[in-house]
Structure 1
Amino acid sequence: MDRTVIAYVIYLAVSIALTVWVARTLSRNGRVFLADVLHGDEKLADAVNHLLVVGFYLVNLGFVALYLSGDDTIVDARGVFEALSTKLGVVLLVLGVMHLGNVYVLNRIRRRGLLEREEIPPVRPQGRVAATPGA
């Protein structure tokens, strides 16, 4: 088998495994965060979590597939390692950027919800306080 094909197979196996692991980890640990962002609505949190995981898979696996093709033919073992390190490094960076983007957007939504909760007074005003003279 050609070394280029071997590098492609290793790249696909590692990239897909990393994408699945990151998606499952984010899904499992992000559910609590989503429930807080969505004011305790568990069903909605599960639905949003599932949609985020599907989108995460689509974007990352699409990127992995597009980034598969290489420029040069790999002629030795050193070339295999260099190609794999470059490709996997870029995939890891994309996974990290996707994760940070999701966390940033969800945190903004959470903060907005917290600010809205603080604006609503816990008890309706009961009446007016008379102004004191000279104050």
Structure 2
Amino acid sequence: MDLNVAAYVIYLLISVALTIWVARTLSRNGRVFLSDVTQGNEKLADAVNHLLVVGFYLVNLGFVALYLRVAETVDDTRELFDALSVKLGVVLLVLGVLHLCNVFVLNRMRRRGALERETVPPVSPQGWAGRLDKTPPTVS
């Protein structure tokens, strides 16, 4: 087997496995944040969580596919490991950046929901409370 083909196969196997692992971790733990943001609306939290995971898969697997090509031919085992380390390192960095972006977005959504809950009064206004003494104000 050509070592370039071996590099492609190993790169794809590791990259796809890492993408699936990170996506499942984001899905499982991000659901807690989304449940808080949606104020306990589990169906909405699950739907948003699923959409975020699908977007994560699309972006990362698209990047993995675009970054598949090895620039130079791989002639020996050392070059195989060199090519794989560079490619997998870049994929891991992209996964990390996407993970941080997801956490940042989820945290912003959670904070905004918490602020909205704090600014809404517990009881809706019942009307205008006028003056208690019923005397008209005097102008001086």
> Does the alignment reach a TM-score above 0.5?
yes
Deviations 1:35-73 (A, max 9, x none): 111111100000111111111111111000000001100
Q: Are the structure 2 counterparts of residues 44 and 78 from structure 1 closer, same or farther at C-alpha, using a change threshold of 3 Å? A: same
Residue 30 of structure 1 corresponds to 30
Structure 2's unaligned 5+ residue stretches are: 133-140
5+ long unaligned stretches in structure 1: 131-135
Aligned partner letter, 2:58: L
What's the counterpart of residue 137 of structure 2? none
CA deviation string 1:97-134 (max 9, x = no partner): 1111111112111111111111122245685798xxxx
Q: Name 1:39's counterpart in structure 2.
A: 39
Give % identity: 74
TM-score, normalised to structure 1, is 0.89
Q: Which amino acid aligns with 1:52?
A: L
- Stretches of 4+ moved more than 4 A in 1? 124-130
Q: If the length of structure 2 is used for normalisation, what is the TM-score?
A: 0.86
Take 2:90 and 2:29, find their aligned partners in 1: how far apart are those partners?
24
**Does 1:87 pair with 2:87?**
yes
**2:72 corresponds to which letter in structure 1?**
D
Q: Deviations over 1:61-102 (max 9, x none)?
A: 100000000110011111011100100011011111111111
Matched, 1:96 2:99: no
RMSD: 1.7
Give the direction of change, closer, same or farther, for the CA distance of 1:124–1:73 in structure 2 (3 Å limit). Answer: same
